[in-house]
Structure 1
Amino acid sequence: MNYDILMLGHISQDVLIDHQNVRQDIVGGAVVYSSFAAGSAGKRVKVITKLAAKDLNILKDLEHPLVDWDVLPSRESTSIKNTYFTADKERREVILLSQADPFTLEEVQAEASIYHLAGLFGGEIPDSLVLPLSKRGKVALDAQGVLRCLDEQKNLVFKDWRRKQELLPYITYFKTDAAEAKILTGLDNRQEAARLLYSWGAQEVMLTHNTEVMVCHQGNIHTAPFTNVNNSGRTGRGDTTFAAYLAWRQDHDAAESTRFAAALCSLKMEKPGVFRGTLEEVLKRMEQDRM
């Protein structure tokens, strides 16, 4: 079967500690939030992930009629602890508790229009996969999967992507947030950062911020605001926005897809967990946001 989007990345068993020290345990990870967002937009999705045998039970909550899961064995599963220091969940500490095995090119068997490399940490999806996958279809890459690394003491650190200018020309869709964009470009201005990443070769650059989503396409900047009325579902914002954009972009222009992604993620952020709304709800929010 040919899929609209093939997503590669680890599921994460997340521990969330909010600014009032309230703990919540959820199943997350970029491929979880992304698959539900793209499926809700009507696209056929294949997810390739890795889990330890003892954790296979978590899949029961990840069923979606348009999403097929290919779960490969791993010595460990990925688990991440997120501690939020503010009510808006913009400042946080991320600690990697355990990590599943990295992927290899041979494990990517299915064919797809878009290969979404939805890694959580550096090394999970090796850089060596970008070029061969770009020969099969369009490549989408989330910057967190190449910037978030572990130092020699196993502490989480952000490092610039050494191969960015070499590999960005093979990436059709590149996603970053404001903080990651500054690491990559050294620029505080979001529009300037997006345009610089575009000039390095990525065909479309998405940059998310707590206020809006921005896309640079053919040198033009498209923006759409997030209009969520609360932040209870803040975790997974970037993953949801990027996947919604990828799904809608297959049949619509960049500006329309930017508005669609912002609307879908705004709805998602109003409820914890993955987006479980309908396409009709997203289109209605898009119309409301135009007013």
Structure 2
Amino acid sequence: MMSGTGAYDSQIIGHVCVDVNVDVTGAESRVIGGAAACAAGAAVSLGHRVEVVTAVGEGDEDLLSCFPPAVERIIAVPSRRTTSIRNVYRTQDRERRVSHGLEQGDPIGPEDVPDEPVGVRHLAGLIVGDYAPDMVDSLSGRGDTAVDMQAFLRVRSQRTGELDLRGSTVGEDFFGRIRYLKVDAAEGEALTGLSDRRDMARALRDRGAREVMVSGPAEMLVLDDSGFHSCPLRPRTMVGRTGRGDTVFSAYITERLAHGVPQALLMACATVSLKMERPGPLVCERREIEDYLRLLYSDLIDDPLEGDRD
């Protein structure tokens, strides 16, 4: 399925990550992936053409197998270390967690990213320092850029290794360079000082981002020129909770290459709901997502979520 204008629909840029997940019972599992892998899984499962620019530590090149086989090209940027994060979930629904950065890979810079026509460039990062300081400025001059603010807000404590949010230190023109921006509720509050998700979205649009997605545990919210759009999440289990935001954002921005906001958001929510039932990056065919959509979103298919102005 080719929906972009370039060779690839999505050029995903972010680190491989070794996730050590501890559930509420204390059971521990090790998952290879990270934001870039989950983003790639979503895009290729929907049938989009994907190129990945990632960083992995010397001797860890075998970890690149975390990317789905359907990814057409993987560019591995050398790094002294491979990123690794320990997530301890405090609740059964996995909505509350404490994360510690065990290792962090070296920054990826614009010189590491091929300058070629693509549908959208997706910065799928994890921690402040994943990218060179001029990354967004440089990439935005090449075409549409999608940014998950996690990698511009989440910092690793030098003393404890705990990952926590800080206020943004990006420049005034940062948001105006972004076509698609994604935050969760905590990130949105750290950026804007606001607690209501719609207020956050308005504030970030006012700063210059053209389309803003604010994720939540029960629904996804998007604000664009036409107003607000929302769609529920309907997973039947939560065993694949890690990677929710990365999956839904990637699905949304790649579907937007050929579809309007309501249809893209509906497909993205079905995609991530299916992914949340499976640990690791989603690997499936588009028809499986479409079957899931018909099964769990039948009430929304005929009336595909018209935007409401506010």
Report the TM-score range of the alignment, normalised by the length of the smaller protein.
over 0.9
3-state SS of the aligned residue for 2:60? helix
Do the aligned partners of 1:39 and 1:67 also contact (CA within 8 Å) in 2?
no
3-state SS of the aligned residue for 2:190? helix
Do the aligned partners of 2:57 and 2:80 also contact (CA within 8 Å) in 1?
yes
Identical pairs, percent: 36
Offset of residue 277 of structure 1: 2.4
3-state SS of the aligned residue for 1:258? helix
Unaligned 5+ segments in structure 1 are: none
Distance in 2, matches of 1:164 and 1:280, equals 42
Give a deviation string over 1:33-53, Cα, whole Å, max 9, x none: 000101111211111111122
Q: How does 1:10-159 map to 2 (within 5 A)?
A: 10-111=15-116, 112-153=118-159, 154-159=161-166
Give a deviation string over 1:21-42, Cα, whole Å, max 9, x none: 0000010211000001011112
Offset of residue 62 of structure 1: 2.6
Do the aligned partners of 1:6 and 1:45 also contact (CA within 8 Å) in 2?
yes
Write out the 4+ residue segments of structure 1 that deviate beyond 3 Å after TM superposition. Answer: none
Distance in 1, matches of 2:128 and 2:18, equals 18
Offset of residue 164 of structure 1: 5.8
Offset of residue 180 of structure 1: 0.8
Offset of residue 67 of structure 1: 3.5
Q: Which amino acid aligns with 2:132?
A: P
Give a deviation string over 1:144-188, Cα, whole Å, max 9, x none: 010001244244221111226421010000001111111111111
3-state SS of the aligned residue for 1:54? coil
3-state SS of the aligned residue for 1:271? coil
Residue 302 of structure 2: aligned partner: none
Distance in 1, matches of 2:39 and 2:80, equals 24
Give a deviation string over 1:32-91, Cα, whole Å, max 9, x none: 000010111121111111112221112234342243211121111101100001000011
3-state SS of the aligned residue for 2:188? helix
Residue 284 of structure 2: aligned partner: 277
Between Structure 1 and Structure 2, how many residues are aligned? 291
Distance in 2, matches of 1:280 and 1:88, equals 28
Unaligned 5+ segments in structure 2 are: 1-5, 300-310
Q: Which amino acid aligns with 1:196?
A: A
C-alpha root-mean-square deviation of aligned residues, in Å? 1.5
Q: 1:164 to 1:94 in 2, by over 3 A?
A: farther
Of residues 161, 165, 190 in structure 2, which corresponds to 1:183?
A: 190
Residue 214 of structure 2: aligned partner: 207
Do the aligned partners of 2:20 and 2:86 also contact (CA within 8 Å) in 1?
yes
Q: State the TM-score, normalizing by the size of structure 1.
A: 0.96
| Segment drifting more, 40-49 vs 147-156 | 147-156
Offset of residue 290 of structure 1: 3.8
Do the aligned partners of 2:33 and 2:66 also contact (CA within 8 Å) in 1?
no
Offset of residue 125 of structure 1: 1.2
Structure (1/2) with the larger helix percentage? 1
Distance in 1, matches of 2:45 and 2:98, equals 30
